[in-house]
Structure 1
């Protein structure tokens, strides 16, 4: 009996000591960058009533944990520099090392902010290989959501400096932004990367602020019920597993081992050049199609490192060479880049096989992407002469609910734990997920900006963001566009104090919602920061519409932020302007730059009432720039009556 009492006492004592010990949030850790020139909060948890001391920069600061065990210490403003050490003492001792003071930026939103340098190995090989910035560091916030509580910590996370190895995990946009700022300002730059692909703006707004949007607020209340979200997740998993089980069961390619080199595929259907397969392949159904191609190689070609680039495939692929598995990608968006192990290729004929699962409206190769086999001294083009055969045709999969994108969930789990941390400003790249409801986007973003600024309590913190780039197929005639409408909403957000926008309509790709040119995006954001935050006397802004007046049949359009003047990029005819009469039937206009204004007209429109510029999902060809090299922002305007 005494032994049991001793054991229970020991367990209780250990539990008490463990609970009493100092615990720090993941953000407060080795290698962190703290905001320079302002008092900063250092916080954590300990036993209720426990005294905590922090030794920093030859001084000691003290605090006492409250009834909930929370404590906080304010450190005085510190100039840029380091490294520093910070020692925490209570019933335990923690020492943090390699702490710097500099400027810290929250970098947030969809996959174009999330897209990592590791996905751009072939786009920026030199930049990655030469990355060696000890004073540029990223904290990667883990993906998570919570509809019930505003969390106070993350499940994981650490600060990493921008070395050639670590930079592969960095947000590409944020990294190029940081490099530009660090080189010009010579201060440490901290990146807090809190981004989730596909997420809409409302998932990053607090519950309190969502009250302004009853539909989203009411939706949040539903998702507060854990059984509701568990049921959705369970149904998603069950439906997905059942669909793939049926697909695998029906797939003749799996049954008959079509990945093998022994398969005679000479009589399969032919795809002369890479592109989408005919719609008749599945006839509004889905399934799996197998593709094969033979590549002949000599002995010299197969030595050394080999890289297989398969652009983008719709939707999910499994790739084999000579019957051996070399890689897989689970959805249509990532670039396919497979490194081949020694012994995969052989002298003579090599058979490439792709098992391609279709769960969307189209199936095949996304055009205008790189399809090649890169050898040590040769490159083999893979863009033509593929054979294909359907393995299975089944009904489309059931639509799924993505729980983590629901209102306030990402705010609670991925923004709330950051808020005691002092920062310099925000970087934001988003809009794709809200394009179908462009009419509410401005109000959503105004709410989000106000919400975050209020929570951080640092005044009107700079909010720098990227306007949607060009995307989707180019249209020959003027047309309506949700993406154009959303771009206008993004422009209108500039009316809020300390907001700046990087226009990126010329940095997109028609066939990729994740365009690869992230370097120029980061540089344009850095330009905005140089002017707004660091006070440099430069023109960082694109031209924006200012006013329009009618002169006979012609329209004269004036712009703000013209910098050194307006120009037609490439010195060709000015393109991208469309005008309409009262019927709002837009036609292309002839346009030219005259005296740093644009004059536009169409002889068929005798009484022009409306003018648009770059009004398309993908306004390729729109070529009005200022002489600083920045593209004009899209707009629509009504001509005022005289």
Structure 2
């Protein structure tokens, strides 16, 4: 009898344990130990529980109880008010059995997206280094920087989760994290003095169409957007598949803004990119529902794209046209800015080894435009106009308040053309805020181009060190 009672008691204990295990809410990878939430806003928190179960969320920073009810599929979502930056905190989540998220910080959260130049980790790719990264990895211990990487995933249907963990910055975490993203986040953390969270959502070789929803991508693609269950011809270049597999699980998470490094794969369609890219940004902003959040992006660096050029050459296979599209996109995308990388390109590698420059130039935009820090430069000087005087074309620039320089290097890369539209290499010399361009082969100049090549080393900069983008005064 005693034996039977013990067995019954044990069975009841096991039964209750099973019920409790089933009752514990399930959270997406974004809501986990060591995570970070956007400060001073109402952030969305979501997960899964038993159907129709009541779910409570209690953050330790204010002790407030937030309640909601799971739907018939067990999905639930609510918003929580966050304080000024700080932590660590805990978040208690329960639908009967409690789950505690520990070591949560409040700070600035940024999405880091694009293709391989965003994906390129601090340790570099095999045989392709990141300059200075070994020492920076060594020094990366920082409790106030948190990183998470969404793994590569191509899908024909929207996914709601992924497998990854938030990591506190240290050499093990940072050596495998986006170099561009890390250098961006490190500078924000240093200058703002608050925690920074970085979410990497990048896939090497991806085209911009892959990052659009099926509904939006269908307006732009020559080939069909795959239906649910269809095969995926190319994992990183099939329209909508990265939106479904990688971006969708992140949409709605509280962010301050996004940094973007992509365009290399779209280099042969610059005219379409000028429509594609702003449309993608507008869609992301609409889906996040937090207004025109900051969107800062890197202009692709010069590289000898002839290795990729189709047999039948076309003038617009020159990637300078894609850089031009990115330059023009600043006027089509509200609250945006572009980091120019004309000085760090490599002729034989599409992955510039100088990643710190790109990450930090993106951070300059954020520090100035998003965080309101003043009295430093963040914009590259930009072409404004040309004035023809005799056989000379005088090129003026905006955003060059302290003038232009080559830092002692030869000023190269200028071309000039007359009415016959034939460009010739030009002599160029600097004035304080302009460049005088001429050629003995062009008596009456009509147009000027600068660094308008697949690969070239840009030498023209503002005195702050920010390089001038390639440009042309014509529209031929």
Tell me the TM-score normalised to structure 1 length.
0.67
For residues 291-331 of structure 1, the C-alpha deviation after alignment (integer angstroms, 9 at most, x for no partner) is: xxxxxxxxxxxxxxxxxxxxxxxxxxxxxxxxxxxxxxxxx
Residue 34 of structure 2 corresponds to residue 35 of structure 1? no
Residue 212 of structure 1: how far off its partner (Å): 2.7
Alpha carbons 2:426, 2:439 under 8 Å: kept: yes
1:389-408 paired onto structure 2 within 5 Å: 401-408=233-240
For residues 235-276 of structure 1, the C-alpha deviation after alignment (integer angstroms, 9 at most, x for no partner) is: xxxxxxxxxxxxxxxxxxxxxxxxxxxxxxxxxxxxxxxxxx
Query: 2:383 aligns to what?
Result: 545
Give the direction of change, closer, same or farther, for the CA distance of 1:552–1:122 in structure 2 (3 Å limit). Answer: closer
Give the direction of change, closer, same or farther, for the CA distance of 1:527–1:73 in structure 2 (3 Å limit). Answer: same
Higher strand share: 1
Residue 473 of structure 1: how far off its partner (Å): 8.5
Query: 2:203 aligns to what?
Result: 196
1:83-98 paired onto structure 2 within 5 Å: 83-98=88-103
Query: 2:448 aligns to what?
Result: 611
The gaps in structure 2 that reach 5 residues or longer are 1-13, 307-314
Residue 214 of structure 1: how far off its partner (Å): 4.8
Residue 96 of structure 1: how far off its partner (Å): 0.6
- For residues 170 and 475 of structure 2, what CA distance do their matches in structure 1 show? 54
Alpha carbons 1:109, 1:195 under 8 Å: kept: yes
Residue 368 of structure 2 corresponds to residue 493 of structure 1? no
Residue 403 of structure 2 corresponds to residue 565 of structure 1? yes
SS of 1:169's partner is coil
Match of 2:161 among 130, 153, 156: 153
Match of 1:81 among 86, 89, 92: 86
Alpha carbons 1:609, 1:639 under 8 Å: kept: no
SS of 1:452's partner is helix
Residue 28 of structure 2 corresponds to residue 25 of structure 1? yes
The runs of at least 4 aligned residues of structure 1 exceeding 4 Å deviation read 11-20
Residue 125 of structure 1: how far off its partner (Å): 2.0
Query: 1:414 aligns to what?
Result: 246
- For residues 199 and 105 of structure 1, what CA distance do their matches in structure 2 show? 20
Alpha carbons 1:548, 1:639 under 8 Å: kept: no
Match of 1:137 among 146, 151, 175: 146
Give the direction of change, closer, same or farther, for the CA distance of 1:138–1:639 in structure 2 (3 Å limit). Answer: closer
Residue 15 of structure 1: how far off its partner (Å): 9.0
Residue 92 of structure 1: how far off its partner (Å): 2.3
- For residues 615 and 480 of structure 1, what CA distance do their matches in structure 2 show? 11
- For residues 412 and 121 of structure 1, what CA distance do their matches in structure 2 show? 30
Alpha carbons 1:611, 1:639 under 8 Å: kept: no
Give the direction of change, closer, same or farther, for the CA distance of 1:536–1:522 in structure 2 (3 Å limit). Answer: same
- Which segment is superposed worse, 630-639 or 440-449? 630-639
Match of 1:128 among 134, 137, 149: 137
- For residues 175 and 609 of structure 1, what CA distance do their matches in structure 2 show? 44
Give the direction of change, closer, same or farther, for the CA distance of 1:599–1:121 in structure 2 (3 Å limit). Answer: closer
Alpha carbons 2:270, 2:316 under 8 Å: kept: no
Alpha carbons 2:131, 2:355 under 8 Å: kept: no
Q: CA RMSD in A?
A: 2.3
- For residues 16 and 202 of structure 1, what CA distance do their matches in structure 2 show? 45
The gaps in structure 1 that reach 5 residues or longer are 1-10, 230-400
Alpha carbons 1:123, 1:516 under 8 Å: kept: no
SS of 1:54's partner is strand
Give the direction of change, closer, same or farther, for the CA distance of 1:615–1:55 in structure 2 (3 Å limit). Answer: same
SS of 1:117's partner is coil
Query: 2:75 aligns to what?
Result: 70
Give the direction of change, closer, same or farther, for the CA distance of 1:118–1:151 in structure 2 (3 Å limit). Answer: same
- Which segment is superposed worse, 19-28 or 484-493? 19-28
Give the direction of change, closer, same or farther, for the CA distance of 1:407–1:480 in structure 2 (3 Å limit). Answer: closer
For residues 323-351 of structure 1, the C-alpha deviation after alignment (integer angstroms, 9 at most, x for no partner) is: xxxxxxxxxxxxxxxxxxxxxxxxxxxxx
- For residues 414 and 28 of structure 1, what CA distance do their matches in structure 2 show? 16
Alpha carbons 1:105, 1:424 under 8 Å: kept: yes
For residues 414-471 of structure 1, the C-alpha deviation after alignment (integer angstroms, 9 at most, x for no partner) is: 1111112110011101111001112211111011110111111111111111111121
Residue 480 of structure 1: how far off its partner (Å): 6.8
